[in-house]
Amino acid sequence: MESCFGRYKNIQFKGPTCFCRSLLVYMKSRIFLHVCSLLVAVVLAVSVAAQSSAPASADNSAKSATSAAASGSDAAAPAPAPATDAQGDPLKRPLTDKQKKANAKALKQELGSSYKKWLNEDVRWIITPEELSAFKQLSNDEERDQFIEQFWLRRDPTPDTEENEFKEEHYRRIAYANEHYAAGKAGWRTDRGRIYIVFGPPDEIDSHPSGGQYNRSVEEGGGETSTYPFETWRYRYIEGLGDKGQEVMIEFVDTCMCGDYHISIDPNEKDALLHTPGAGLTTSEQMGMSTQADRITGQCNSAGSMPTGAMDCTKQFDKLDLYAKLNTPPQVKFKDLEEKVNHKINVNLMPFDIETDFVRVTGDTVLVPVTIQVKNKDITFVSKDGIQRGTVNIFGRVTSLTGKIAQTFEDTVQVDVPNELLEKTQEHSSLYWKALPLRPGRYRFDVVVKDVNGDRVGTWSHGVVVPEYNEDKLASSSLILADHMEKVPAKSIGAGNFVIGQTKFAYPHLELADGKPASFKRDQRMNLWLQVYNLQADGKTNKPSAKIEYEIVNITNNQAVLHSSESTESMGNLGDQMTLEKSLALTGFQPGIYRLTVKVDDNISKQQIAPSVRFAVE
34-43: per-residue pLDDT in tens? 656 677 666 6
Q: What is the mean pLDDT of the chain?
A: 78
Q: Are 140 and 131 in contact (CB under 8 A)?
A: no
Distance CA 559, CA 199 (A): 55
608 has a pLDDT exceeding 90 = yes
298: phi then psi, degrees, rounded to nearest 5: 80, 30
Task: Assign 19 a pLDDT band (cuts: 50, 70, 90).
Answer: very low
Task: Select the more confidently predicted residue: 454 or 252.
Answer: 252
Task: Look at residues 564, 429, 567 and name the one whose alpha carbon lies nearest to residue 509.
Answer: 429
320 has a pLDDT exceeding 80 = no
321 has a pLDDT exceeding 60 = yes
Reported as type and span, the H/E element at residue 520 is strand 518-520
According to the model, what pLDDT value does residue 566 have? 92
Give the CA-trace dihedral at 89, 90, 95, 100, to 10 degrees. -150
Measured CA distances, 521 to 55, 371, 483, 590 (Å): 102, 21, 10, 10
For the segment 38-59, what is each residue's pLDDT rounded down to a tens digit? 776 666 666 656 555 544 444 4
Neighbours of 214 (CB within 10 A): 20
Q: If you ran DSSP here, which 8-state letter would residue 290 be given? A: S
Length of the chain: 618
pTM of the model: 0.47
Task: Assign 2 a pLDDT band (cuts: 50, 70, 90).
Answer: very low
Average pLDDT over residues 294-318: 56
Query: Within its chain, how far is the Cα of 316 from the centroid?
Result: 33
With a pLDDT cut of 70, the percent of the chain lying above it is: 76
According to the model, what pLDDT value does residue 191 have? 93
Q: Are 471 and 535 in contact (CB under 8 A)?
A: no
According to the model, what pLDDT value does residue 530 have? 92
According to the model, what pLDDT value does residue 342 have? 43
Best-predicted range by mean pLDDT among 214-228, 369-383, 486-500?
369-383
Q: Are 293 and 278 in contact (CB under 8 A)?
A: no
Sheet of 262-264, strand order:
204-208, 230-237, 246-253, 262-264
Neighbours of 518 (CB within 10 A): 19
Task: Select the more confidently predicted residue: 206 or 100.
Answer: 206
Q: Are 522 and 586 in contact (CB under 8 A)?
A: yes
According to the model, what pLDDT value does residue 475 have? 93
279: phi then psi, degrees, rounded to nearest 5: -115, 145
Q: Are 451 and 430 in contact (CB under 8 A)?
A: no
Distance CA 531, CA 477 (A): 5
According to the model, what pLDDT value does residue 12 have? 44
137 has a pLDDT exceeding 60 = yes
Which runs of consecutive H residues, i.e. helices, occur in 118-255?
129-136, 141-154, 165-180, 191-199
Q: Looking at 323-337, 443-457, 504-518, 528-542, which range is the least confident one?
A: 323-337
Please give the span between the terminal C-alpha atoms of the chain, in angstroms, as a whole number: 154
Which runs of consecutive H residues, i.e. helices, occur in 9-140?
18-27, 30-72, 83-88, 97-117, 129-136
According to the model, what pLDDT value does residue 370 have? 93
Task: Select the more confidently predicted residue: 364 or 536.
Answer: 536
Question: Which residues partner with 208 through β-bridges?
Answer: 230
Neighbours of 83 (CB within 10 A): 10
Average pLDDT over residues 401-423: 85
Give every CB contact of residue 303 below 8 A, 6+ residues apart in sequence: none
Task: Assign 268 a pLDDT band (cuts: 50, 70, 90).
Answer: confident
